[in-house]
Amino acid sequence: MAVRPITIIGHKALHQPTKKVREVTDDIRTLVADMFDTNEAANGAGLAANQVGARWRIFVYDCEDGAEVRQRGYIINPVLEKGLVRTADLDPDDGSEGCLSIPGEHFPTARADWARVTGTDLDGNEVVVEAEGGTLARCLQHETDHLDGKLYVERLTPTYRAKSREAIKQRGWEAARITKWDPSTQEAEDV
């Protein structure tokens, strides 16, 4: 398959809700395969379709669950359930989160310890992915947020949100009109 360019914060695709997949076509199958290749090339924990410029409600994941077991898969039309999000006593080491669309930055982000996503696979079979703790629980919430047009930096406390804005500004993506990067070459693109 292929490695696709990843959209960077500021690109309109990241700020719009995605569309439900009503029919699995060859293009959808290719998209899922390309998303796995792209996520692997970028060394990501997960990747949402709108991060590669597709408006479909699909994400892939490849990370450890709460038992430190590697989980890899995808889900079409995910619906998220989650536990209580604790914002008090957020540990910057345990709660640090990053994003392939904001490369190189990580900030403490409050997430629920438990999450479950229900959806389907490419053949229309029901898929349920559940995680208690670990990167997978965070990933399920993070990628579903992407599909809803929300970035993790929008969930930060006011202090960390200000720090993220400054860090993003220092990267110079907006000033240089950079909206995508290629994880296989690490090169930026201006569109």
Domain count, the chain: 1
Q: Is residue 70 part of a domain?
A: yes
pLDDT score at 96: 86
CATH code (residue 133): 3.90.45.10
**Distance from first CA to last CA of the chain, Å, rounded?**
24
Q: pLDDT by residue (tens digit) across 152-177?
A: 999 998 989 999 999 999 999 888 88
Least Cα distance to 45 among 138, 145, 108, 112 occurs for: 138
C-alpha angle 177-178-182 in degrees, rounded to nearest 5: 160
Of the residues 132, 143, 154, 189, which is catalytic? 143
Residue range(s) defining the domain that contains residue 163: 6-180
Binding residues for Fe cation: 99, 142, 146
What mean pLDDT, rounded, does the chain reach? 92
Active site residue 143: yes
What is the structure's pLDDT at 88?
A: 61
Q: Is 185 part of any domain?
A: no
Token code pair at residue 183 = 């994880």
Give the H or E element holding residue 168: helix 158-171
Q: Given a cut of 60, is residue 132 above it in pLDDT?
A: yes
Q: Which residues make up each annotated binding site?
A: 99, 142, 146
82 CB-side CA count, 13 A:
20
